[in-house]
Amino acid sequence: MTELPDFNDPSLPTIVVGHPAIVNFRGEEVPVPPLLLEEAMKELDRLENELDRGEISSETGKRLLRQVYDVVDRVGEVVSPGMSCHSGCSACCRVMVATTASEAALIDERMKRGREEERLVWKQGIENRNALLESLSSRTIPPSDLTTFKGLVDTCEMYEHENQPCPFLGADRLCQIYEERPLLCRICWVLTDPADCLPGEGPPVKFRTRVFEKAHALCGAISATHFGDDRVSPIPYWFRSDG
């Protein structure tokens, strides 16, 4: 069996294009086809070029974002057999997820397609989480601005200690907006023992590639270009009753 890597090595989470395999906490090697990663990078480059040339509209932005998601998901499907993540785990559904305006737009579309009883539950969950976020952000000096990355960083640890599930996490511990979940939810592939994801444990080491990093940058660029909004915020914060 391959010798396990040092999971405390800060260079481990980033695996560059062309890396032949990943090694999970069980010591299992999971091949990562270099051609898959290279093709994914080429597709993201193509989307970036289209972003620079195409018509500016929210519909175009949502289409491009869904294409970014498709690229990332194809990589995820290949590496998923070696990950610790499994359906119903939901450990990552209790952290503060930074999302962009374009991602919020897709979530909003999904909410509008929901049944009335679903929408009522989601609305209440969003209100409760936003009350918590406002309370936590007010504890820093100065108060954290939850529309900036720095504000999220200043508040995220306090939020995670509250161990509150995402408002879109169902009673079965499955995501109810799975097809429109944000990018950071799509790339949360854990290499280490699932116990490392529990509150107060870890931190877990997550699988990362240049594909994910490029996709993250594109999400921000799509939002800035097609929605005129370069902010990042926790998921519920986009749906505050005060706008």
The verdict on residue 63 lying in a domain is yes
Query: Per the domain annotation, does 2 fall within a domain?
Result: no
Is residue 193 within 8 A of residue 229, CB to CB? The reply is: no
**Residue 81: pLDDT band with limits 50, 70, 90:** confident
Would you say residue 79 lies in a domain? yes
pLDDT tens digits, one per residue of 224-243: 999 999 999 999 999 998 65
pLDDT of 195 reads 83
Asked, for residue 4, whether it belongs to a domain, the answer is no
Helix runs in 80-148, H state only: 101-113, 116-137
Residue 7 lies in a domain: no
Give the per-residue pLDDT at 6: 58
Question: Given this model, what pLDDT does residue 34 score?
Answer: 84
Return the closest-CA partner of residue 165 out of 231, 242, 89.
89
Please state the rounded mean pLDDT for residues 175-185: 96
Confidence of residue 85 (pLDDT cuts 50, 70, 90): confident
User: Does residue 114 sit within a domain?
Assistant: yes
How many domains does the chain divide into? 1
As given in the structure block, the two tokens for residue 48 are 């970036």
Higher pLDDT, 195 or 47: 47
Classify residue 3: in a domain, yes or no. no
